[in-house]
Copies of this chain bind each other. A is one copy, B any other.
Amino acid sequence: MKLATLRSDSRDGSLVVVSDDNQRCLDAQSISPNLLAAIENWDNVEHDLRQLSNALNGSGSEGQPFDALTAASPLPRTWQWLDGSAFPQHGKLMEKAYDLPPMDTQKPLMYQGLSDCFFGPSDDIPFPSEDGGIDFEGEFGVIVDAVPMGTSAERAMEHIKLIVQLNDWSLRTIAVAEMKTGFGWVQGKPACSMAGVALTPDELGDAWRDGQVHLPLRVDLNGERFGETVGNEMDYGFHELVAHAAATRDLPAGTLIGSGTVSNVDYKTVGSSCISERRAIDLIEFGEIQTAFMAFGDRVRMETRGPNDEPLFGPMDQRVTQKGTAI
């Protein structure tokens, strides 16, 4: 089942089911007003939503036209956003390039980011200046229903209700300084973006296994291919990330858990899903950084398609812009 959110008078938008080809949608507000409400009441609404989805896909013409690129974020806001850094190759490249000690932990890496705003897939992204080192991070993420404190990784798998694709916007110059404090990121991690369509795990078929997305994430920077990294080289699957997050807290329904920037051992062939990693590779390969961070007006496009090139989450295509002077 594919779900999406249309913009409405509500800050949570309005819920629709989306056809297999991402071309049509049907209003689902009679079942649940929005996706956050649906995930809060998943066991009671899933059946009806799937029936509506089946009706839409069984008909060749029912519903209204849908454009995944202009949709809102499936979750325009939610109660908790925890982002991992679960691709060890990313860490290895950063450590090698900048001569950092290996990360001293036997647990998943994870930080809490702002969850009150997720931009839609074609929204302009405002930044106060170009000086922060504007960067994207192509990621996958999962949305869970309520997860009680202490839930095991095995049980956590059952709480994963939806899979999404994300861009975790980052301000690298600030982020490096913030990381040194040990406190994680505030200024270095502004609001993220989400691709327009959220998928139940069954939509990915065999590409969803071991709690990982076995599909490439294509990233284009200003029209040129930047990376085609595959989501299946995580050192912890999403179920393990969920269990880590829930070790000492109850996770509210709608909690979003991210993979961190997708990164592969074969980076020389597949590239990267963030500029920061490319800059680290520049240093390793050429002894100097050759790749600039983003400037106002630059665009980044991200899309993951299925094994037969079928649409899944829909594309993201976003431009970075200068935020107007605040009062």
Is A186 in contact with B245, judged by CB distance below 8 angstroms?
yes
A109 contacts across to B, CB distance below 8 A: 181, 183
A109 to B190, CA, bound (A): 17
Produce 1/0 per residue, A234-271, CB < 8 A to B.
00000000001101111010000000000000000000
Is B177 in contact with A179, judged by CB distance below 8 angstroms?
no
Q: Is A306 an interface residue (CB 8 A)?
A: no
Is B128 in contact with A184, judged by CB distance below 8 angstroms?
no
- Report which of B127, B155, B252 forms a contact with A116, defined as CB distance below 8 A: B252
A148 to B77, CA, bound (A): 17
A80 contacts across to B, CB distance below 8 A: 114-116
Q: How many copies does the complex hold?
A: 2
Q: Is A207 an interface residue (CB 8 A)?
A: no
* A126: nearest chain-B partner, CB-CB: B149
Is A114 in contact with B117, judged by CB distance below 8 angstroms?
no
Is B183 in contact with A184, judged by CB distance below 8 angstroms?
yes
A77 to B254, CA, bound (A): 14
Q: Kindly list 9 other residue pairs between chains A and B, CB separation below 8 angstroms, not including A80-B116, A109-B183.
A: A104-B177, A105-B177, A117-B250, A117-B252, A128-B149, A150-B323, A151-B326, A187-B248, A190-B249
A-B pairs with beta carbons under 8 Å apart, 25 shown: A77-B79, A79-B115, A80-B115, A104-B180, A109-B183, A111-B184, A111-B186, A112-B112, A127-B248, A128-B248, A132-B248, A148-B326, A148-B327, A149-B326, A150-B323, A150-B326, A151-B326, A155-B327, A179-B182, A180-B182, A182-B184, A187-B244, A188-B248, A190-B248, A191-B250
